[in-house]
């Protein structure tokens, strides 16, 4: 199947370098092929979004509600089919993928409501006789650049608020997962979105991503991806005076204290570190464990890992699907070699043979690590977690915060004092108590601190900060002829 760009309501091919969309559970299964979009294609997508902006930004909130609500319903009706597509394209298990599709549907429903709750305030002025209106206005054409690890949820949580608040969009999904983005755009088209309001370009970040970031007609960029790329995008936007929102990586700590419930801590660690093949920005990649529970915790995690089935993402029995592609698999395995060279004891982390030719590896637990090691400072983004043994809570908190990242941080403990202190002092945008570091609801703000995020939060009612601009209006009502038409 040929995967196409979507520009001004038409599905159009591109003549750039040929790209193949392959199932990471079985490389003989090809989902589609496409020619990478060229800079010209990106510019025509921006032009279409700019032409559609005046009408969409003036559209009624009822129209926006209807489109987004319908899209949410269609996604939820088709969640099983979308889940299978997503599992085939990205490699998370079909259960995880169906849950992701469900979340995308819920996001559209939530932002349908946000269109109605558009916002704005009316305040009295300190000057006699004046009122002050604070209006929320659409920003303009917004470029949305997304990573491969949540191929439908991340496009959904950027597209839905952008449209709800009257902006027009060019979406550029990651090169590895174009098919999910194509389906999402089809659904919005079927939901009655006017032509040109949402445009899709399939291609490389260096060519079309960069062209979108630099286009003078793009007013804002919302990016999710690696920190190296994200920092470049933020710098380019700042230089051009564009609004920018950048969500990047993590090196998320899960602290396990002596007084933790062992079963809860093991489930939080295994789920947080290894589910979705560890390919989550919020994955618990550093397990920081106090001495009194360390050996029992490590034993229990190993026993739990031994129960997990690694295999084809579409097989119902699979707990851990493949790594997304060969490049990421090689990177994961290289990090384990480095960890061993630096003194870590690597358990698991082996290539696994399955009946199909996919990028399978067993979960890796790296013991006896210190926080200075590369495995604890750099984001691996695979089914890899390391254990850092510490003496007490104070040392655990110091180690947890000793990272340039600050996305999510977790603690497993039954001590109110420790939990309360951790909530206040963990340097992270999200804190989880007796729960995995990964997994955030669709109606609450999502984002981090330090090198993990830059710009306003995503999701929930906080999304309004990025996707609207504020206009302050003074009105002297006494001078207005109330009888005039
Ligand atoms: P990536 O940075 O390689 O790519 C992300 C997107 O940016 C892709 O669409 C890519 O084509 C595009 N891109 C690449 N170069 C570009 C350029 N010069 N200009 C503009 N766009 C460009 O990231 P990835 O490998 O797709 O995703 C994995 C990363 O995403 C991990 O670091 C992970 O932590 C992060 N992530 C963060 C969050 C979050 O919300 N904080 C969520 C999911 C993933």
Q: Say which residues have a Cβ less than 8 Å from residue 117's Cβ, sequence separation at least 6.
A: 461
Q: Which atom of ligand 1 is nearest to the CA of 204?
A: 11
Find, among 439, 323, 460, the residue nearest to 381 by Cα: 323
How far does the centroid of ligand 1 lie from the alpha carbon of residue 297, in Å?
A: 33
Q: Whose CA is nearest to atom 39 of ligand 1?
A: 247
Listing DSSP states for 214-264 in one string gives H-TT--EEEEES-HHHHHHHHHHHHHHT-EEEEE----EEEEE-TTS-HHH
Match 């005076």 to its residue by tokens: 241
Report the chain's terminal Cα–Cα distance, integer Å.
57
The class (CATH top level) of 5-248+452-473 is alpha beta
Sign of torsion over alpha carbons 405, 407, 412, 413: positive
pLDDT at 119: 80
pLDDT at 410: 98
Q: Would the CB of 422 count as within 6 Å of ligand 1?
A: no
Q: What separation in angstroms does the CA of 94 have from each of 89, 91, 175? A: 11, 8, 21
Q: What's the token pair of residue 103?
A: 């979340």
Length of the chain in terms of residues written: 485
User: Tens digit of pLDDT per residue, the chain (485 long)?
Assistant: 899 999 999 999 998 999 999 999 999 999 999 999 999 999 999 999 999 999 999 999 999 999 999 999 999 999 999 999 999 999 999 999 999 999 999 999 999 999 999 788 999 899 999 999 999 999 999 999 999 999 999 999 999 999 999 999 999 999 999 999 999 999 999 999 999 999 999 999 999 999 999 999 999 999 999 999 999 999 999 999 999 999 999 999 999 999 999 999 999 999 999 999 999 999 999 999 999 999 999 999 999 999 999 999 999 999 999 999 999 999 999 999 999 999 999 999 999 999 999 999 999 999 999 999 999 999 999 999 999 999 999 999 999 999 999 999 999 999 999 999 999 999 999 999 999 999 989 999 999 999 999 999 999 999 999 999 999 999 998 888 877 77
Q: Say which residues have a Cβ less than 8 Å from residue 153's Cβ, sequence separation at least 6.
A: 100, 103, 104, 107
pLDDT at 480: 86
The preferred substitution site among 107, 144, 147, 379 for testing ligand 1, maximizing ligand atoms within 8 Å of CB, is 147
Listing DSSP states for 66-128 in one string gives HHHHHHHHHHHHTHHHHHHHHHHHH---HHHHHHHHHHHHHHHHHHHHHHHT---EEEE-SST
pLDDT at 4: 98
Q: Would the CB of 148 count as within 6 Å of ligand 1?
A: yes
**Cβ 36 vs Cβ 17: under 8 Å:** yes
Q: Which residues are annotated as catalytic?
A: 247, 281
In the chain, where the domains are located: 5-248+452-473, 253-433
- 253-433 falls under which CATH superfamily? Aldehyde Dehydrogenase; Chain A, domain 2 (3.40.309.10)
Q: Do domains 5-248+452-473 and 253-433 have the same CATH topology?
A: no
Question: What is the Cα–Cα distance from 324 to 343, expressed in whole angstroms?
Answer: 28
**Cβ 176 vs Cβ 324: under 8 Å:** yes
Angle between helix 94-116 and helix 79-90 axes, rounded to 10 deg: 120
Q: Which atom of ligand 1 is nearest to the CA of 226?
A: 32
Question: What is the Cα–Cα distance from 170 to 172, expressed in whole angstroms?
Answer: 7
pLDDT at 478: 86
- Which residues make beta-bridge pairs with 5? 12
How far does the centroid of ligand 1 lie from the alpha carbon of residue 147, in Å?
A: 4
Q: Whose CA is nearest to atom 26 of ligand 1?
A: 147
- Angle made by CA atoms 139, 142, 147, in degrees to the nearest 5: 140
pLDDT at 142: 99
The preferred substitution site among 148, 205, 212, 335 for testing ligand 1, maximizing ligand atoms within 8 Å of CB, is 205
Q: Whose CA is nearest to atom 15 of ligand 1?
A: 205
Q: What's the token pair of residue 97?
A: 């993928």
How far does the centroid of ligand 1 lie from the alpha carbon of residue 246, in Å?
A: 9
């Amino acid at each position: 199947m040929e995967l196409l760009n979507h520009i001004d309501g038409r599905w159009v091919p591109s003549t750039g370098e040929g790209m193949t969309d392959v199932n990471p559970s079985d490389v003989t299964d090809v989902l589609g092929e496409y020619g990478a979009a060229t800079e010209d294609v990106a510019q025509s997508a921006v032009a279409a979004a700019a032409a559609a902006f005046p009408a969409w930004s003036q559209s009624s909130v009822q129209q926006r509600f209807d489109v987004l609500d319908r899209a949410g319903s269609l996604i939820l009706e088709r969640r099983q089919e979308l889940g299978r597509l997503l599992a085939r394209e990205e490699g998370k298990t079909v259960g995880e993928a169906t849950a992701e599709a469900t979340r995308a549907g819920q996001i559209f429903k939530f932002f349908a409501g946000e269109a109605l709750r558009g916002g704005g305030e009316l305040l009295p002025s300190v000057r006699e006789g004046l009122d002050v209106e604070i209006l929320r206005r659409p920003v303009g054409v917004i470029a949305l650049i997304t990573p491969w690890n949540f191929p439908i949820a991340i496009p959904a949580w950027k597209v839905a608020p952008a449209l709800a608040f009257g902006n027009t969009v060019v979406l550029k999904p990651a090169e590895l997962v174009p098919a999910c983005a194509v389906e999402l755009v089809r659904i919005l088209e079927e939901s009655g979105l006017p032509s040109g309001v949402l445009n899709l370009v399939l291609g490389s970040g260096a060519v079309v991503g960069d062209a979108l970031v630099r286009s003078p007609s793009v007013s804002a960029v919302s990016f999710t991806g690696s920190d190296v790329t994200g920092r470049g995008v933020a710098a380019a936007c700042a230089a051009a005076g564009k609004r920018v929102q950048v969500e990047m990586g993590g090196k998320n700590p899960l602290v396990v204290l002596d007084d933790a419930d062992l079963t809860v801590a093991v489930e939080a660690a295994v789920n947080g570190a290894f589910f979705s093949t560890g390919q989550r920005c919020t994955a618990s990649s550093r397990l920081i464990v106090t001495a009194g529970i360390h050996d029992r915790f490590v034993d229990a995690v190993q026993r739990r890992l031994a129960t997990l089935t690694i295999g084809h993402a579409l097989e119902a029995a699979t707990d851990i699907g493949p790594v997304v592609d060969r490049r990421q698999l090689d990177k994961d395995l290289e990090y384990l070699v480095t960890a061993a060279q630096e003194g870590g004891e690597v358990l698991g982390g082996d290539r696994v043979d399955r009946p199909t030719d996919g990028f399978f590896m067993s979960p890796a637990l790296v013991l006896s690590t210190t926080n200075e090691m590369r495995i604890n400072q750099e984001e691996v983004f695979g089914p890899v977690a390391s254990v850092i043994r510490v003496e007490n809570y104070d040392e655990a908190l110091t180690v947890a915060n000793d990272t340039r990242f600050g996305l999510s941080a977790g603690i497993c403990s039954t001590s109110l004092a420790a939990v309360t202190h951790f909530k206040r002092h963990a340097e992270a945008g999200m804190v989880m108590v007796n729960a995995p570091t990964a997994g955030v609801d669709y109606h609450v703000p999502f984002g981090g601190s330090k090198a993990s995020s830059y710009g306003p939060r995503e999701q929930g009612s906080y999304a309004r900060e990025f996707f609207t601009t504020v206009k302050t209006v003074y009105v002297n009502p006494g001078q207005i002829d109330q009888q005039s038409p």
